[in-house]
Amino acid sequence: MSLTQAIKQQARWLGFLLAGVTTPETPPHFSTFECWLDAGQHGEMRYLADERARARRADPRLILPKCKSILVLAAPYAALKPSETSEGLGPTGRVAAYAWGDDYHNVFLPRLGELVAFIEAQVGHPVSNRYYTDTGPILERDLAQRAGLGWIGKNTCLINPKHGSYFLLAEILLGIELEPDPPFVPDHCGTCTRCIEACPTECILPDRTIDARRCISYLTIELKGDIPTELRPLLGYWIFGCDVCQIVCPWNRFASLQGDASFSPRPDLPAPNLIRELELTPEAFNRKFKDSPLKRAKRRGYLRSVAVALGNSGDEKTIPALENAREDIEPMIREHAAWALKIVKRH
């Protein structure tokens, strides 16, 4: 067994479903990324447009000067469709499947450290390295495609023909040469446009990018201010992320129904009761979502989205909770609750 094969085998033992190797050359779609930034389609995610970070995305060797290989890894999360009802207790929200369990950053980083230790034990000396999972200035999907893990679909997700797209990526930059895998060249999307047609906000663009400013995942997670009024009705019941373009993708009939155990649904997920969620105090929010991806939105962002979903329900049972939220300590929550209350009373 070669060193590369041994590393991939160890990666699978650590829970990574897919493992591939590529080189540190400029990612093939870097120019597309530059055009996307120049068009302002990254919204308020200013960290993506930082000049130093842009240069590093163009050349991974600016991150690790001794980089000779990049190991790209993927671990699955459960591809289940969340229910929109819950025990008759009122409207329920929808949460992106990747966020049902523990925060993948906390899950992956120790595994990546273990894999580096394994590599160093195999070669018998320290190896220059950097590892990331959605945290470093690299184009993950581009590197994954070049490492043979799949193709970038029309919905911008990386899709593997045997496992669909319900998985999370991680990378290790290494100062040793490994055997690179051939890039994944075929485009198996064909003439299918289900994701484009199903997107509630029409944010999927023809060049396999998305206008983040209209994407529900951006609006409910990355956007720190008010959700634009004209987009609020389009969010439906989504309160953290969105899986619509994955749910309709035919390739996800091959996706795992179990996924990595670390991403198994926590209690009250994937379909939280929206009235109860709107009543979360700062202490209760922090306690409930400790080590959860949902903490990224912070309480004000999360309850902002919850209020919008309650408004979209049109359910009169939500009125008391929304009226209470109009007195919340956070101005943004008060504003979105007031909007929702008007919508509900109009029904």
Which residues are known catalytic residues? Answer: 134
Rg of the chain over all Cα atoms, to the nearest angstrom: 21
Tokens matching residue 105:
């950053």
* CA–CA dist 69, 129 (Å, integer): 10
| 331-346 and 298-313 helices, crossing angle to 10° | 0
Q: Who's near 129: CB < 8 A, 6+ residues apart?
A: 64, 116, 119, 172, 173, 174, 175
Amino acid making up residue 284 = A
* CA–CA dist 130, 16 (Å, integer): 18
Strand 167-174, strand 69-76: pairing: antiparallel
Q: Which residue has tokens 């033992």?
A: 13
| 104-123 and 3-13 helices, crossing angle to 10° | 150
Strand 238-240, strand 94-95: pairing: parallel
